[in-house]
Structure 1
Amino acid sequence: MLRVEMLGGFQVAGVGGSFSRFRTRQTASLFAYLVFHRGKRLSREVLAEMFWHDAPHPDKARASLSVAVSSLRSQLETELVGQVLLVDPRTLGVRAEAVSSDVLEFEQALDGVSSDNTPEAINTLRQTLALFRGTFLPGFYDDWVLSEQARLRDRFTAAVRRLGSFSEEEGDIDEAIYWRRQELLYFPEDTGALEHLIQLLTEEKRMEEAAQAYHDAVRRWKDDGLGSLPASVERRAQAALALYPTASTRKKPRPAAAPVVFAAPAPSPLRETPPLSRVSALPLDITHFVGRQEELAQLKGLLEREEVRLLTLIGPGGIGKTRLALELARQVQQEGGSAYFVSLQEARHGQGFLQAIASSLQVRLPSGQGGELLELVSSLLSQSGRVLLVLDNMEQLLESDALECLRALLQRAPSLQCLATSQNRLSIPGERLFPLAPLPTPPVESLALEEEDPAQFEARWPSVALFVDRARESVPDFHLHARNLAIVARIVHVLEGIPLALLLAAARVQVMSPLQILEGVEARFQLLATTRKGGPERHRSLYASISWSFDLLRPELKVFLARLTVFRGSFGHLDVEQVLGIPLALDYLAELCDCSFLTTELSEHRVCFVMLESLRLFADQQWGPQEREEGRRRHAEYFAGLAEQARGHWRTDQESLWMERLESVLPNLRAAMGWSLEGEEPERLEVAYRLGSSLGRFWWINVYHKEGQRYLVELLQKESLHQVVTVEQVVRLKISLMTQLLTGGEYEQVCLWGKKALSLMSERGDEILEAIIYANMSAAEVSTYGVDNFITYSNRSFYLLRKNSDYERLITGYYNAAMGYIRIDNIEQSIKFTCKHYLLARRIRNGAYVNGSIIALAGCLMTYGDERHALILYKNVIKNCLHSKNFFEMLGALICYCLILYRANPTPELRDILESIYGMRQVLGFEFGIVSSRFIAQHELQITPKKVTSLEETKKTILAWAEELTQGQPDLTDEQLRKIVREFVRSL
């Protein structure tokens, strides 16, 4: 059992020792909340909103909760402790038998004390109060914590006063004084307890102790940021002490008749200064403010809310935080508000922080200690109404006392608002984060940029607009036109929309053409630098900006970040733990997120981490070649293993989940593929074989066949491959290559590689592999109208598969035969093999194959005129493919469905969908197949492929249309399918 102590501090003790540090403050508060409600299951939605209410989107809050839960499970659930958390998709809780808590023990003991003032009850109460060791969760400022602090304080105070009153009634004044001191020890702000204590001491003529109690209270109020004691308390204390002669608390006694005097602090000199000018001199920026209009509006909306006192713009160096904050301050001024820009570039501690604020306020502070300066600045700000301070570059003050100064300013000046720019969260109570992302960049893969209007293109993409605007500073007549538009789009895409990188690249147009700049951005740290003066040194090059941020990291985090560069795109914390061999990598990842070196993305099933390529390139330079090579090897082996895991789930009900998993780590798979082909060492080729033999179906279903084809061809050309893998394994690679070639319509190449594979098969008579080769060759032959070879190859394949009882591959052969006979207008045979396919699919109870049967039958119906039933079948196919994430088959069914509808009613919407799909086909280089091509030719339909401006956006549009089409579509029953077949056969 874990013991959780929350009174006077926060600590968890278990079999292996104790700890008090959690991944984040929210994670700690979440665990405390769950312990406080142990045994109960609490809504995850409520918890996400409760602890991450400042997240920019509910998905981000849910993602943060998932990360926190993973961190808690890694930290708490050991072999000795066992399960601690109760976790399911909707709720979260803590097992009551797994934890104990000092708060629960204290409250249970207090509930058990009798209300009668019997000696037994009073003695029990004394023992119970010994369990109270301080404020509940000190240093935590969540709403639920503050509420519980007040409730527990009231319970403790009531019990203490009961003991104090009992002691006074019994005449035991020493014990009564003791309990008042205990109350003040834990709650120094309780002025009632202070007054009562001074009264008891003065009545007992213990004037030295009374004066000392007063001075202790004054000191604690000041140290805790509570200010001065209320004047009413001072007056009552003065009056009480004046009734009795006293001695001073100093070593030298005063005259006996002189009363103790409690002097009020002298008024601050700033109390008599005129209020601040509402018009401050903001730094002059002569450049245009480009983009970020949406972010600017969001920030203004947040600052209009009174509860938002501290808003932190967080993001990596060079992302444009300072420029955005400055523009916001300027607009606040223009609208009649009071805004001041505070540059903290030279500040290193709290005193420098306060001096920088005073300088911005145009006030000269007297020399003095930090406490005096804090008093002066807070006094000035508290008199000045609503003020916005823009605190620029707070990240360099995170390890100093400046954060305490900022917290005190916010407490003492109720109308003060602060907008901080930082690469790290400040972790001050009430802080609201506003993550700043790079400027949006145009997708450059498969773009029809030659048709773009330059002016509209510049207006649509802020990153392009920023580059062009800054380029005009060096070359006034620089503008976008048809010849440079695609090049500029590529430049901003490669630079990831990072404003600093765009500014530095744009400055080069004076001496370099856009094409030369594009060629140089791959070596971006050398190109993106300037010797011009002005601005911070770190903003004179992208390298310097990232280096400055990197230097702020602690040493072990620097090492971890360098090792993390083996990953590409997005990755999960379990991936990192396996590749890097770090059990609690989540803590490091979370810290790098707080430092803006990583961002998070929420997928349907997990939280992923992403690093900007510029940051990755810099961090990659921070470790040696041997370490880097070892890291890349481990990375490649891990993702090869992941691909093999996925292969084991093809054509099962888990296939869609694994397709989505591989899609989410596709950049990492590509990095592993790249490493595996860099040489001919056995360990590389072994990884290459594992990837090539596992990813075939993934490439096919997701239309990455061109990529798979290139990879397999290069692998099969490796001279050392035969020394690493067997003949059978080489044949399997060639079969996978044939599948990718078939998808792309390269039928001659299919037969060429098939004959190469068959020549190898003469050395090893594996009839199953031989059958697969003949099946692929038959599909290629029928597409080129090689009818005789099609029938010969098909029959040979069927014979070998039946002989070896390989029914799953026989199903695929039946499908190819059904499509082939449609091609050569043999309706009887196409129906025959369609029925064979369906019956065998039902026999082995595989939904993926049943869907193939429906596709084949729908093709027959469409080709031979039963379009009504074909529409019903295709609609079910589309629905099934959406569920199984089979994008390739979905596209084939969708185009056939649209073609039938379009022939009957050629609406603009249908034409747009058809042209978009055909545009994708041109870009991706895949063939839709026999049925749609035959239907178009048969009905003389004119479909012009649309220029796809963004492949990703087009894919999203088509998926959204398919989901809308199949909304509420019932599943096709066996009886309905049999009825359709019977009607069709009768019609023939």
Structure 2
Amino acid sequence: MLLVMLGPFRVHDDGGEPVELGGNRVRTLLARLALDLNHSVPVRTLIDDLWTDALPGDATNALHTLVARTRRALRATTGLRLSSEGVGYALRADPDQVDLHRFERLVASGRGALRRNLPAEAVEDLRTALELWRGDPLIDFRDLPFAEATVPRLERLGRAALTERIEAELRLGDHAGLIEELALLTARYPLDESLAELRFRALRAAGRRAEAASAYEQLRDRLVEHLGTEPGDRLREMRLALLREGSDDAAPTSGTAPSPSGTVDATEREPPDDDPGTGGGTAPNGAALPRRLSGFVGREPELERLDHALRDARLVTLFGPGGSGKTRLSIESASRITALRVLFVELAPVRDDQELAAAVLTSLGVREAPRLNHGPPGDPLSGLVETLGSEPTLLILDNCEHLVTKAAELTERLLTLAAELRILATSREPLALPGEKLLPVGPLEVPDNVEAAAAGPAVRLFVQRAAAARHDFELTAANAADVMEICRELDGMPLAIELAAARVRSMSPRMLAERLDDRFRLLTRGNRAAMSRHSTLRAVVEWSWELLTEPERTLARRMSVFAGSARAESVAEVCSGAGPVAADVDELLADLVDKSLVEAVDQGTVMRYRMLETVRAFCSEQLAAADEVEALGRRHAEHFLAFAETAAPRIHSREQLTWLARLDVEHDNTMRASHWALENSDADIGIRLAAALNWYWSMTMRHTELAGRMRDMAALSGQAPAESRAVVELVSRLYEDSYGWSERLGAAVEKLRDTGAMSRYVYLGLLEPMVWSLTERLDEMADSLRRAAEHPDPWPRAAAHYGWAILAERRGETGEGEEHAERAVAAFEAIGDRWGKAQAIGSTADFHSLRGDHESAVERLTESVRLLRELRSTTELVPQLARIGMHRVRMGDLSGARSELDEASRLAGTTPSSHRVVVTYGWMELTRAEGDTESAHRLVRDAEADLVELGSPPHPMMRDLLLSFRIRLSLDEDDPAGARELFGKALDSENPVADRPVSAVLCEQLARLVLAEGAPREAARLLGVAAALQGVLDRGDPDVREMCARLRSELGTEEFDELYSSRFDSSGAAARAELRRVLGR
């Protein structure tokens, strides 16, 4: 163990010898980083946690020094590495070499084994975990804030590990061996009911019932005296069960069956003495619960709900699709019941609904119905009532769906005639009786990320069954993603997962995942002991299919054309005709929902309907068999083309949120329609659909999807509206990454202009001018903006103001630009377009920042962020949050900047993108302001690498900004030679945009350089050039403010103003020429 935290803190070298760390602060830093092992901890957090009394004068530098000392101390321990990561530090190590993390892993593993009813494995893991404790956790750091929250959690986890280890040993039958230990523990923790319960169970199971009763009374007295309360329901029911057995120390009961949480409900959860796999009481021959041949996985919430339902209702129905685990859930729940006699009847083999009662009677082991007063001699119903008797009984009727009407009639009669009877039914559709408590049984949960894979019920089931099929199978980092994909593709359905897991004998998880497109052929080798309807995946679905009427089958197979879910009106329009008529669809949908072939998803104001993927695959086969694939595919594509063209203008209006939400929900269906158009070479549908969805795809930052889809559609030959095709071709050019990009893009936008496409697609009021800007054809951009300003629709007119603001900024016309930006805000507000308003507000913030009014800039960007949050536009939030962070840096609020950039980083993720480059630029500004030039240099390299990986579209302005930032760092480090070399690179770069604000930044940095070299007059003149380029000097930049103050002091105000105000040709080309002159190039 390299690092010990569960007791006195120690670090060992590779040979196991203690390492001399040389000071408490080093120990504290290691302990703090070890709590977040293998994760970066921000510098600010470390400073706050390490210096709790008084901060050193330069806290950041003090931390860097401490890190260096710690690295030196760890030289002899190659398994521990302290690394700089992001804007923080991380301790890197194998978690099993840190006792705290090894302890947590073992406890989680032991608990998992206990949940899977593998007590021997649980005992081994939990014992090993508890042996790691060598004293109080983090004892050397108890007074520090970072330990205050961690220590109580660890102590609770330690107590839980101890309790669950004892639970596991009880399940193994070591009752007598635990009694002494439990006596000591209950003395140490006299008010702990869980420990008291374990002691009670151990005493009772060991046959020492009198002592168990005495232990209960002692606990009761303590609880009443100290807490004024009685023992909980579970302990009270255990005591009652003990009293029913008699007060003498008779033979011990056999072990107890575990509940999902690792505890036992004594009233309804302890198996009977005679058979741990059956219910209690004396059941007729043949009524015993089926024995469980494998462990039960997941379903803890469902078990708990079922417990409550069986207490509250006399009729409970577990309903859900085939293979969802209804039977197994009913058996698992019933196997733990003692308060009721449990009888189990399997109805699947029963085919004659007229003889249902007799068949049930026979399955209970009664050959002939007795002669009773409830009916005529030999009446099966009378025989059933007599067999059930007056004893409290739970009757399980398994698989009622194929006899649902008769099963409902029998259930109603039995509940009426047998007052002490409760019935638990399993079915693929409800019995629809008064008082019926319905509990849906759906898929097992599949985790969203690989890190949580091992905890997901669906993955746990796969791993357990796969390990049974192949003894060396285990979940690993290498196969976790594939196992998750298998479980997700199989809808989390237990039977399908079990069938797939059995194939690991001959296939890897990757091979399985790749073959699931042909799931019915793949999953054909099931449990030989299973009933035929559960022997293959196809048999599961066919059983349900055979129970449908012909209209239900027609609708079900046609619904397979939808991707994901659909509204009822969409189902009616696409699926009706030559079979169901639209008016019948609502009723047929309700039938399919009742029969668990279709799932109804409540989305507040509207219901949507979806099929599980396995059901959809089966119904797709039926659609092909009926020769309806082509017709239904076209209907579906035409329907969602109409939907997209209806939605397109509405996402620019006050209905924006509503229609964006609808487009989000229908995304899978619009993509399915798009795929159909490509596969069938239907240019009209495909190109119109892509053009209609273009702005939605762009707003929601689906750029990868957008680029690929537009390229594919542009390649479609065939008849399509000219303006739609022009849009698709233009956008496909935007995402090219090859020589001649600008020329081809220019040709595409010329074609777009000539078709008059802006009249059909209002978003072109912004997109077309922005493309002209990208190609550096600013006169055409202005012409495009004038056409947008004259558009009959208000959205292009609002967009024109926003475009004019951008163009004016590029031309250095700051005053005009700010005026247009404010008009754009008002225009988008009047329309109700949050997205447009958010962008325009962001533009006004930049103008405020140039004047040094950072508070106003932050206030406006905060409003922009609020609007984008309403749109749930996560990716659009990223640059705005980063910009707020940069403005806070400029105003000196470094902690506020860090908070904004932290959120921006979290939302940006780790995938290279133009937004992530903006966030990295924000961190560059912050680390420079903090004096951490090492981190700033590293962040510049990260941003440059991301730009290279992005490739397309080109980012020349960002490349020049990064070069400018490198120049700033060189000047900060008193390296004028390095700065001059970087200026040369900036001037030699191929920048087709030659953006004035970027050139202005380069002029400001060159002013810093020549001022440092002793040329204040040249510096003053260069600041004037920068002001001419962007219309105003950037007085919000701390470097510029400092230069101005210094130059006024050195030159005098009059001479500075004269040099600063020198006339200058403010074109981009002239600016570059001036830079070359000053640099002597």
Instruction: Please list the CA deviations of residues 89-145 of structure 1 after superposition, one character each: whole Å capped at 9, or x if unmatched.
Output: xxxxxxxxxxxxxxxxxxxxxxxxxxxxxxxxxxxxxxxxxxxxxxxxxxxxxxxxx
Instruction: Give distance in 1, aligned partners of 2:447 and 2:849.
Output: 40
Aligned match of 1:391: 397
Q: How does 1:497-646 map to 2 (within 5 A)?
A: 497-530=492-525, 533-581=528-576, 582-623=582-623, 624=625, 626-646=627-647
Once residues 418 and 290 of structure 1 are traced to their aligned partners in structure 2, the CA distance between those partners, rounded to angstroms, is 24
Distance of 2:601 and 2:737 partners within structure 1: 38
Contact 1:378 1:412 in 2 (8 A): yes
Find the counterpart in structure 2 of residue 419 from structure 1: 424
Residue in structure 1 matched with residue 408 of structure 2 by the alignment: 403
- Whether the 8 Å contact between 2:652 and 2:795 is mirrored in structure 1 is no
| 2:342 is equivalent to residue 339 of structure 1 | yes
In the alignment, which residue of structure 1 is the partner of 2:40? none
Counterpart of 1:915? 905
Range that drifts further, 316-325 or 753-762: 753-762
Q: What CA deviation, in whole Å up to 9, does each residue of 1:731-755 have, x standing for no partner? A: 132345467x4xxx97999745532
Check if 1:429 corresponds to 2:425: no
Q: How far is 1:827 from its partner?
A: 5.2
* Secondary structure, aligned partner of 1:622: helix
Q: 1:525: Cα distance to partner?
A: 0.2
Other-structure match for 1:905? 895
Residue 439 of structure 1, CA deviation: 0.7
Question: Which stretches in structure 2 are left out of the alignment for 5+ residues?
Answer: 1-279, 577-581, 929-934, 944-1032, 1038-1081
Aligned to 1:156: none
In the TM superposition, residue 359 of structure 1 has moved relative to its aligned partner by 5.0
Matched, 1:374 2:387: no
Residue 290 of structure 1 aligns to a residue in which SS? coil
- Among 908, 927, 934, the alignment partner of 2:915 is 927
Give the equivalent residue in structure 2 for 1:951.
none
Alpha-carbon distance in structure 2 between the residues aligned to 1:371 and 1:782:
92
Amino acid at match of 1:916: R
Q: Provide the residue aligned with 1:466 in structure 2.
A: 461
Deviation at 1:661, TM superposition (A): 1.3
- Structure number with higher relative contact order (C-alpha < 8 Å, ≥ 6 residues apart): 1
Map of 1:299 onto structure 2: 306
Q: Deviations over 1:616-655 (max 9, x none)?
A: 1101111336422101111110110011111232311112
2:335 to 327, 330, 334: 330
Return closer, same or farther for 1:426/1:899 CA change in 2, 3 Å cut-off. farther
What's the C-alpha RMSD, in Å, of the aligned pairs? 3.9
Q: TM-score, normalized by length of structure 2?
A: 0.54
Write out per-residue CA displacement over residues 780-800 of structure 1, whole angstroms, 9 at most, x where no aligned residue: 6878xx8xx264453343355
**Distance (whole Å) between structure 2 residues aligned to residue 762 and residue 523 of structure 1:** 48
Aligned ranges for residues 946-985 of structure 1 at < 5 Å? none
Deviation of 1:348 (Å)? 3.1
Alignment of 1:730-879 (within 5 A): 730-737=725-732, 741=735, 751=742, 754-758=745-749, 760=751, 776=767, 779=770, 789=776, 791-801=778-788, 808-809=795-796, 811-816=798-803, 818=805, 830-838=817-825, 841=828, 849-862=836-849, 865-879=852-866
CA 1:706 to 1:391, structure 2 compared with 1: closer, same or farther past 3 Å?
A: same
Per-residue CA deviations over 1:848-891 (Å, capped at 9, x if unaligned) read 54443222112444566533223322332233334455555444
1:285–1:849 distance in 2 versus 1, CA, 3 Å: closer
After TM superposition, the structure 1 = structure 2 runs for residues 39-438 of structure 1, keeping only pairs within 5 Å, are 276-277=282-283, 281-305=288-312, 308-333=313-338, 336-349=339-352, 352-355=355-358, 357-358=360-361, 361-366=364-369, 372-385=379-392, 387-400=393-406, 402-438=407-443
Which residue matches 1:880? 867
> Would you say 1:493 and 2:449 are equivalent positions?
no
- Give the superposition deviation at 1:917: 1.0
Distance 1:654 1:770, change over 3 A: closer
| Residue aligned with 1:695, SS | helix
Give 1:813 shift: 4.7
Residue type at the aligned position of 2:417: R
Residues 1:751 and 1:557: Cα distance change in structure 2 (over 3 Å): same
**Equivalent position SS for 2:397:** strand
How many angstroms does 1:292 deviate by?
0.7
In 2, Cα distance between equivalents of 1:844 and 1:737: 29
- Is residue 343–residue 356 contact of structure 1 (8 Å, CA) maintained in 2? no
Task: Give, in whole Å, the separation in 2 of the partners of 1:873 and 1:564.
Answer: 48
| Alignment deviations for residues 413-442 of structure 1 (CA, whole Å, 9 cap, x no partner) | 222111111001111221111111111113
Q: Is the 8 A contact 2:845 2:856 kept in 1?
A: yes
Aligned 8 A contact 2:342 2:394 in 1 = yes
Code of the aligned partner of 1:457:
A
The equivalent residue for 1:689 is 687
Cα distance per residue 1:496-528 (max 9 Å; x no partner):
111111111111111112222112111000000
CA contact (8 A) 1:343 1:391 kept: yes
| Structure 2 letter corresponding to 1:437 | G
Contact kept in structure 1, 2:357 and 2:381, CA below 8 Å:
yes
- Give the residue type in structure 1 aligned to 2:584: L
**Counterpart-to-counterpart distance in 2, 1:909 and 1:419:** 54
Task: Give yes or no for the alignment of 1:658 onto 2:659.
Answer: yes
What is aligned with 2:95?
Answer: none
Q: Which amino acid aligns with 1:618?
A: F
% of aligned pairs identical?
Answer: 26
Per the TM alignment, residue 590 of structure 1 is displaced from its structure 2 partner at its CA by 0.3
Contact 2:901 2:922 in 1 (8 A): no
1:534 is displaced (CA, Å) by: 0.7
Between the aligned partners of 2:642 and 2:766, the Cα distance in structure 1 is 29
Residue identity matched to 1:383: S
3-state DSSP of counterpart to 2:650 = coil
Matched residues in 2 for 1:578 and 1:765: separation?
33
1:560-605 Cα distance to aligned partner (Å, 9 max, x none) = 2111111111111111111123223100000000000011111133
Deviation of the 1:705 alpha carbon: 2.8
For 1:846 and 1:774, the matched residues in 2 are separated by 14
Q: Is the 8 A contact 2:852 2:1034 kept in 1?
A: no
CA contact (8 A) 1:673 1:688 kept: yes
2:515 match: secondary structure: helix
Letter in structure 2 aligned against 1:877: S
TM-score by length of 1: 0.59
Contact residue 282 and residue 341 of structure 2 kept, 8 A:
no
Q: Is the contact made by 1:315 and 1:596 (CA closer than 8 Å) also made in structure 2?
A: yes
For 1:770 and 1:282, how far apart are their aligned partners in 2?
A: 66
1:473 is matched by which residue type in structure 2? A
**1:403-422 Cα shifts (integer Å, max 9, x gaps):** 32211111112221111110
Counterpart CA distance in 2 for 1:746 and 1:892 is 23
Please give the alpha-carbon distance, in whole angstroms, between the structure 2 residues aligned to 1:907 and 1:936: 9
Q: Secondary structure at the match of 2:438?
A: strand
CA distance in 1, matches of 2:550, 2:314: 33
Using the alignment, how far apart are the partners of 1:845 and 1:277 within structure 2? 70
SS in 1 for 2:473: coil
The DSSP-based 3-state class of the residue aligned with 1:571 is strand
5+ residue gaps, structure 1, are 1-273, 947-983
Residues 1:356 and 1:331: Cα distance change in structure 2 (over 3 Å): farther
